Structure 1
Amino acid sequence: MADNKIRKTVKKALAAGLTAAMLLAPIQSFAADGEGTDKAKALAEAIVREDAKTIKDHELVAENDAIALYLYEPTLSLIVRDKKTGAIMESTVGESDGTLNATWENFIKSGIGFDILNNVNEERTDLISAQADIDVVKKADGFSAAVNLTKYQISFVLNVTLLEDGIEVEIPGDSIVEEQDQVTLGNVFVYPFLGYTYADERDGYMLMPDGNGALIYLEDNDGRFTSPLNLKVWGDNAGVDESYVLSLFWEEYQTVNDAEPVLAPVFGMVHTDSRMAVLGIIEEGAEDARISAYPNGAVTNYNWVVPRFTLRRIYKQLMSKEGTSAVQLQEAKRAQCDIKLRYVFASGEDADYAGLAVKYREYLLENLSAKEDKFRIRLDFLGTDRENGMIFKKPVVMTTTDNIRDIYADLKEANVTDIFSIYKGWQDGGIWSMPISKYKADSKIGGTSALTKLIKESKEEGIELYLYQDALRANPDTVNTTFNVIKKLDESVYEENTYKEIYESFRFQTPDQAVKKLNESLKSYGKKGVDSLALTGITNHLYSYNYNGKQYNRTENLQIFSEALESAAQDFHLAMEQPISCYWNLADSIVGMPVNTSSYIFTDEEVPFLSIALKGVIPMYADYTNFEANKSEYFLQLVETGIYPSFYLTWEDPVDLLYTNSADLYTSRYGVYKNEIIEYYTLLKEVSDATAGAVITDREKTADNVAVVTYSNGVKVYVNYNEQPVTCDGIALDAMSYQLVGR
Structure 2
Amino acid sequence: MRWIWRYKKWLGYTAAILLVIVFISQAKITFRDSEGGAEAAGAASAQPSGEGGAVLPDAGGFQLAAETETLRLKFHEATGHFMVEDKRNGHIFRSYPDPEEWEQAGVGGAWASHLVSPLMYQHIDMSNPNANPKESSFTRDEGKVENVQLIDGGVEFVFDVPSAGFKIPVSIRVEDDYVETSVQDEELVETGKDQLLWLRAYPFFSAVQAREEDGYLFIPDGSGALVSFQDKRSTIKQMYQERVYGADGSFISSPSSRNNVVMPVYGMKAGDQAFIAVIHEGAPYSDIIASPAGVLSNYHWIGTQQNYRMRYTQVTNESANRSFETYTKGERFRDDRVTRYYLLDEKQADYAGMASKYREYLVKEQELKRLTPDHQDAPFFLTMLGADREKGVFTDRYIQATTASGAMQIVQELYGLGVQNIKVTYLGWQKGGYSALGGYLPVDERIGGAKGLKHFVDYAHSLDIPVYLEVNYGMNNTKVNGFRPRHHGVRDLSGTLMRFSHQSGDDITMVSRTFMVDSIQDDMADFAKLGIDGLLMEGIGRFISTDYNSRYGGTRSEAAHVDQQALQTVRDQIGGVQLRNPGFYALSSVQHIYDLVDDYSYDLFSSRAVPFAQIALHGLVTYTSTPENGRSQYRMDFLKDIEHGAYPSFDFTMTETSNLGGVYWYAPVSSHFQDWKVEAVEQYQRYNEVFADIQDRFIIGHRQIKSGVMETEYEGGTRVIVNYNDEAYESGNIQVPAMDYAVIKGGKVNAQK
Task: Tell me the TM-score normalized by structure 2.
Answer: 0.85
| 1:714 matched residue in structure 2 | 717
Structure 1 letter corresponding to 2:132: N
| 2:369 matched residue in structure 1 | 369
* Among candidates 169, 174, 180, match of residue 168 of structure 1: 180
In 1, Cα distance between equivalents of 2:552 and 2:652: 44
* Among candidates 487, 494, 514, match of residue 491 of structure 2: 487
In 2, Cα distance between equivalents of 1:229 and 1:194: 17
Structure 2 letter corresponding to 1:740: V
Cα gap change, 1:173 to 1:460, in 2 (>3 Å):
farther
Cα gap change, 1:684 to 1:217, in 2 (>3 Å):
same
1:91 aligns to 2:95 (yes or no): yes
| 2:154 matched residue in structure 1 | 142
1:433 Cα deviation from its structure 2 partner: 1.1
Structure 1 letter corresponding to 2:738: A
Structure 2 letter corresponding to 1:143: V
1:123 Cα deviation from its structure 2 partner: 1.6
SS in 2 for 1:230: strand
In 2, Cα distance between equivalents of 1:528 and 1:187: 49
1:400 Cα deviation from its structure 2 partner: 0.9
| 1:312 matched residue in structure 2 | 309
In 2, Cα distance between equivalents of 1:167 and 1:329: 34
Structure 2 letter corresponding to 1:639: I
1:112 aligns to 2:124 (yes or no): no
SS in 2 for 1:212: coil
Contact 1:385 1:662 in 2 (8 A): yes
1:687 Cα deviation from its structure 2 partner: 1.0
Task: Tell me the TM-score normalized by structure 1.
Answer: 0.86
| 1:80 matched residue in structure 2 | 84
1:525 aligns to 2:527 (yes or no): yes
Cα gap change, 1:372 to 1:118, in 2 (>3 Å):
farther
| 1:46 matched residue in structure 2 | none
1:266 aligns to 2:265 (yes or no): yes
In 1, Cα distance between equivalents of 2:597 and 2:552: 36
SS in 2 for 1:365: helix
Cα gap change, 1:712 to 1:99, in 2 (>3 Å):
closer
Deviation readout 1:25-71 (Å, 9 max, x if unpaired): xxxxxxxxxxxxxxxxxxxxxxxxxxxx9846433333334333232
Cα gap change, 1:92 to 1:426, in 2 (>3 Å):
same
Cα gap change, 1:144 to 1:577, in 2 (>3 Å):
same
| 2:107 matched residue in structure 1 | 100
1:139 Cα deviation from its structure 2 partner: 4.1
Task: Summarize the alignment of residues 625-704 of structure 1 with structure 2, pairs less than 5 Å apart.
Answer: 625-662=628-665, 664-704=667-707
In 2, Cα distance between equivalents of 1:589 and 1:549: 33
Unaligned runs of 5+ in 2: 1-56, 747-753
| 2:24 matched residue in structure 1 | none
Cα gap change, 1:237 to 1:281, in 2 (>3 Å):
same
1:140 Cα deviation from its structure 2 partner: 5.8
Deviation readout 1:272-319 (Å, 9 max, x if unpaired): 2xx010000011101111111111232222211111111111223122
1:409 Cα deviation from its structure 2 partner: 1.2
Structure 1 letter corresponding to 2:116: K
Deviation readout 1:592-638 (Å, 9 max, x if unpaired): 21122222222202111111111111111222222322221211111
| 2:540 matched residue in structure 1 | 538
Task: Summarize the alignment of residues 197-208 of structure 1 with structure 2, pairs less than 5 Å apart.
Answer: 197-200=208-211, 203-208=214-219
Structure 1 letter corresponding to 2:175: L
Contact 2:457 2:531 in 1 (8 A): no
In 2, Cα distance between equivalents of 1:663 and 1:511: 25
Task: Summarize the alignment of residues 220-239 of structure 1 with structure 2, pairs less than 5 Å apart.
Answer: 221-239=232-250
| 1:617 matched residue in structure 2 | 620
In 1, Cα distance between equivalents of 2:551 and 2:121: 30
Cα gap change, 1:216 to 1:327, in 2 (>3 Å):
closer
1:280 aligns to 2:273 (yes or no): no
Deviation readout 1:425-460 (Å, 9 max, x if unpaired): 100111111102x53111221111101111122122
1:363 Cα deviation from its structure 2 partner: 1.5
Deviation readout 1:458-508 (Å, 9 max, x if unpaired): 12211121100012011279875333111222333222223x2x2443221
Contact 2:620 2:696 in 1 (8 A): no
In 1, Cα distance between equivalents of 2:458 and 2:436: 24
1:96 Cα deviation from its structure 2 partner: 5.6
Contact 2:214 2:229 in 1 (8 A): yes
Q: Which moved more, 1:515-524 or 1:421-430?
A: 515-524
SS in 2 for 1:593: coil
Structure 2 letter corresponding to 1:186: L
Cα gap change, 1:690 to 1:567, in 2 (>3 Å):
closer
Contact 1:484 1:509 in 2 (8 A): yes
Structure 2 letter corresponding to 1:102: G
Contact 1:225 1:296 in 2 (8 A): no
Task: Summarize the alignment of residues 535-574 of structure 1 with structure 2, pairs less than 5 Å apart.
Answer: 535-548=537-550, 552-572=554-574, 573-574=576-577
| 1:425 matched residue in structure 2 | 428
CA RMSD of aligned residues (A): 2.4
Q: Which moved more, 1:562-571 or 1:105-114?
A: 562-571
Contact 2:311 2:325 in 1 (8 A): no
1:466 aligns to 2:468 (yes or no): yes
Cα gap change, 1:324 to 1:571, in 2 (>3 Å):
same
SS in 1 for 2:342: strand
Structure 1 letter corresponding to 2:469: L
Cα gap change, 1:537 to 1:549, in 2 (>3 Å):
closer
Structure 1 letter corresponding to 2:91: A
| 1:329 matched residue in structure 2 | 327
Contact 2:198 2:305 in 1 (8 A): yes
Cα gap change, 1:601 to 1:459, in 2 (>3 Å):
farther
In 1, Cα distance between equivalents of 2:142 and 2:58: 25
Contact 2:220 2:263 in 1 (8 A): yes
In 1, Cα distance between equivalents of 2:732 and 2:702: 14
Cα gap change, 1:549 to 1:227, in 2 (>3 Å):
farther
SS in 1 for 2:354: helix
Deviation readout 1:130-170 (Å, 9 max, x if unpaired): 33231222346221112222122222321111121121111
In 1, Cα distance between equivalents of 2:395 and 2:214: 64
Contact 1:383 1:400 in 2 (8 A): yes
Structure 2 letter corresponding to 1:361: R
| 1:18 matched residue in structure 2 | none
1:600 aligns to 2:607 (yes or no): no
In 2, Cα distance between equivalents of 1:67 and 1:550: 46
Deviation readout 1:113-139 (Å, 9 max, x if unpaired): 212232253221222133323122234
In 1, Cα distance between equivalents of 2:166 and 2:373: 49
In 2, Cα distance between equivalents of 1:616 and 1:172: 35
| 1:22 matched residue in structure 2 | none
* Among candidates 214, 228, 234, match of residue 217 of structure 1: 228
Cα gap change, 1:549 to 1:369, in 2 (>3 Å):
closer
In 2, Cα distance between equivalents of 1:698 and 1:629: 29
* Identical-pair percentage: 24
| 1:240 matched residue in structure 2 | 251
1:332 Cα deviation from its structure 2 partner: 4.3
Deviation readout 1:699-720 (Å, 9 max, x if unpaired): 1111253222221111111222
Contact 1:291 1:305 in 2 (8 A): yes
SS in 1 for 2:606: coil
In 2, Cα distance between equivalents of 1:369 and 1:87: 32
Contact 2:540 2:579 in 1 (8 A): no
